[in-house]
Structure 1
Amino acid sequence: MTDHSWPWPTGAATGIGSLPGTDIAEAQRIVLGELPALPHLPELPARGPGADMIGRTGGLLVELPVELYAARWRIAPRPGRDLRRARDLLERDLDQLAEQAEEYTGPVKIQAAGPFTMAAAVELPIGGRLLRDPGAVRDLAGSLADGLRAHVEAVTRRLPRASVLLQLDEPALPTVLAGRVPTESGLGTYRPVDAEVARALIGSVITAAGVPTVVHCCAPDVPLELLRSAGAVGVALDLSLVRDLDPLGEALDAGLGLLAGAVPTLTPPPARPPTSAEVADRVRRVWDRLGFPRRRLPEQVVVTPACGLAGVTPAYARAVLAACRDAGRRLAEQ
């Protein structure tokens, strides 16, 4: 691999997104304190509808309003209370971020669901997922692209000295590509999305956002080459789900960065969080099996939990983030 400049510092660690609790000020204090090299804008789904991944991203969509119906998000005829709540929560979070990180000068990560996870979750007004209508999926991707561009601009205005790193959450992407998303009846599945269509639409969202973008997918069979060729600078994976190392090695050799999910986020969690030495060893073992030189590891890899931490206690979440941070430092000092 040729020399590469990464949008994160050497030995960095970050969170995937969600944290427990409902106090955004406290959540941001924890993130800024425990993850000083690459903090992220935390998500607190315990606050209810509009703070969940789908509702939060729905609040970013442009000219495509969403609403809750029977506990599911769907396209709405006009903006309403549910959409206002989602946007108000995000606005409050950004204001709090500006207050606490006003002088911050490094990279900061923000997260949103990607177009195919949204298409697999949000319903059409007439019923059925957006996924059933290729035209609706294209419209959704365009709306999300416009919304993410505005979101990045809003973060940049509040933190003018920071640089933004975008994370697209695409846990449903492998299922969408394989045609395994069930219909509402449970008796069938939606047609698979062609890989070239997925590459083009994800690429259009990444291009519109205008900042380095990583794609998070805590599922087996992540389409690494598709994401790399769509323009992602990195991919966030749960290391425990990586069965075949060859595709990962090829993607890393071709220049993809890795956000290595090295701490399981089980619910309920284990009796004690892992130590930073255990987390660093886990990342190092995978890297060594891939056969890459150790000197590249702390530059190309960011240490993270495997997924969000909304299902654990605040104390456990804090300990996990601290272990990731110190593991990143250990890897940089090896």
Structure 2
Amino acid sequence: MATDMQPAPERRFPNMPSVELPHGATTGVGGFPHRAAADAARCSLANLTIPSIPSLPRRSPAEGAIAQAMVGMQGITDGQYGSLSVDPARVDPLAPLSTDLQHDAFVGFRTFLEYARGLEGWVSWRLVGPVTLGMALVRAGVPASEAFEAAVRTVRARSQHLLDAVGGALPAAKQLVFVEEPDFADAMTPGFPLAPDTAIDLVSGALAAIEGSAVAGLHVCGGGDIASQLAAGPAVLSLPVRTDLADSAGYLVNFMERGGYVAWGAAPTSGPLSASSERPWRNLSHLWCELVERGADPGLLRRQAIITPECGLSAHTPAVAERVFKVAGEIGRRVRDQATATRWALGA
């Protein structure tokens, strides 16, 4: 793997698949804080217009993002209390992956599918991407070349297994799948074990594996280089609401003009949490004004927007999670109202 890091060369964004998500819809990113899977399922179905299939790391460490990604790989064995053990010598990139929804890692997932029977419209879920999974395997002692090859194959197989499971349980629902790549935020920094283009290609492959059956989104918690995230080719890009995003206006304008949606992490999950939507809505509106000044279409900003919490909620309480979802819902309603108003203003 390359260790000499240079800035990623300019790339043309891949072709955008056709996406028609409901503007102002709300969904989740990251884990839920519940210990009871039934409570998490009910919370998601009651509070989100695109219900999010919960993962529950506080219920069991097996439902942590990395543990859930690794379970079923050769060389990964169950430990005590939901933990996993990695035997680097036994990790084989060519070994088949097992996805057992009866495993402790998928309690939140399968419980939601039971509670959501008959669901129509949209549903969202997440899985860890190949860059982050590969880095986790490297940290566990797997040689980098084998770690990233195993990660690519695992993510591709896991996404298909879960797409099939959701499609079988909820045949009337359309799926929005977020590839979670927190480690991709460091892909442009010196010392990262993948060259920037290689990291982009790995994420792009994971998104492409989803696109035949679902809408593929990308969530890089903590930020990172916007151009590189868009070069991977997501149909939906999840971004926290930050003022410095205005510096990437050209990339975002191009993305939206080609049909891309932004999942705005507008409901804060860190620092002082808002009891109302007023301040988060002002922050989003201010950012949108900055983007419009730099060339964004105000109608596209609203029509191609969904609203999420800033990041996952597993560190909070269920009561706080519901409050964050309600704030997201209030912001979403404002977005829908303004999107409708812009359509009327344009005579649509």
TM-score relative to the length of structure 2: 0.79
Three-state SS of the structure 1 residue aligned to 2:178 is strand
Q: Contact between 2:50 and 2:122, CA under 8 Å: does it hold in 1? A: yes
**Residue pairs, 1:137-216, within 5 angstroms:** 137-179=148-190, 191-209=192-210, 210=212, 211-216=214-219
8 Å CA contact 2:56–2:64 kept in 1: the answer is yes
Alignment-derived partner of residue 104 in structure 2: 89
| 114, 134, 137: which one aligns with 2:145 | 134
Task: Please name the residue that 1:286 is paired with.
Answer: 287
| Cα drift, residue 328 of structure 1 | 0.6
Alpha carbons 1:112, 1:168 under 8 Å: kept: yes
Residues in 2 aligned to 1:296 and 1:274: alpha-carbon distance in whole angstroms: 28
Give the aligned partner of residue 5 of structure 2: none
Question: Is residue 262–residue 283 contact of structure 1 (8 Å, CA) maintained in 2?
Answer: yes
Q: Distance in 1 between matches of 2:125 and 2:315?
A: 20
- Cα displacement string for residues 157-190 of structure 1 (whole angstroms, at most 9, x for unaligned residues): 11000011111111111224314xxxxxxxxxx5
Residue 327 of structure 2 is matched in structure 1 by: 323
Secondary structure of the residue aligned to 2:154 is helix
Give secondary structure in 2 for the equivalent of 1:213.
Answer: strand
Counterparts in 2 of 1:289 and 1:64: CA distance versus 1, 3 Å: farther
Q: Determine helix, strand or coil for the equivalent of 1:245.
A: helix
Deviation sequence 1:116-153 (CA, Å, 0-9, x none): 111222347xx53x4x5234312321221112111111
Cα gap change, 1:5 to 1:133, in 2 (>3 Å)? closer
What corresponds to 1:183 in structure 2? Answer: none
Residue 229 of structure 1 is aligned with which of 225, 228, 231? Answer: 231
Please state how far the C-alpha of 1:280 moved relative to its aligned partner: 2.3
Unaligned runs of 5+ in 1: 180-189
Cα offset for 1:305?
1.1
**Aligned letter for 1:165?**
L
Q: Check conservation: 1:298, 1:328, Cα contact below 8 A.
A: no
* Match status 1:120 vs 2:132: no
Q: Is the 8 A contact 1:73 1:122 kept in 2?
A: no
TM-score computed with the length of structure 1 as normaliser: 0.82
Aligned residues: 307
Instruction: Among all aligned residue pairs of Structure 1 and Structure 2, give the percentage whose two residues are the same amino acid.
Output: 24
Q: Partner of 1:66 in structure 2?
A: 76
Deviations 1:234-277 (A, max 9, x none): 2112223x5252324423432332111122222xx63x534123
Which residue matches 2:31?
18
Distance 1:289 1:167 in 2: 27
SS of alignment partner, residue 253 of structure 1 = helix
Cα distance, 1:303–1:244 mapped onto 2, change above 3 Å: closer
33 and 235 in structure 1: CA distance in 2 versus 1, 3 angstrom threshold: same
Structure 1 residue 65: deviation in Å? 4.4
- The answer to whether the 8 Å contact 2:33/2:315 transfers is yes
Contact 1:73 1:121 in 2 (8 A): no
Do 2:241 and 2:264's aligned partners in 1 also have CA atoms closer than 8 Å?
A: yes
Kindly indicate whether the alpha-carbon contact (under 8 Å) linking 1:94 and 1:155 is maintained by their aligned counterparts in 2.
Answer: no
Aligned to 1:22, the other structure's residue is in SS state: coil
Partner letter of residue 57 of structure 1?
A
Q: CA deviation at 1:98?
A: 2.5
Amino acid in the other structure paired with 1:114:
G
| Distance in 1, Cα, partners of 2:297 & 2:29 | 26
* Matching residue of 2:118: 103
Asked if structure 2 preserves the Cα contact closer than 8 Å seen for 1:56 and 1:90, the reply is yes
Given that 1:224 and 1:235 are in contact with CA atoms closer than 8 Å, whether structure 2 keeps it comes out as no
Could you tell me which runs of 5 or more consecutive residues in structure 2 were left unpaired when the two chains were aligned. Answer: 1-15, 93-97, 339-348
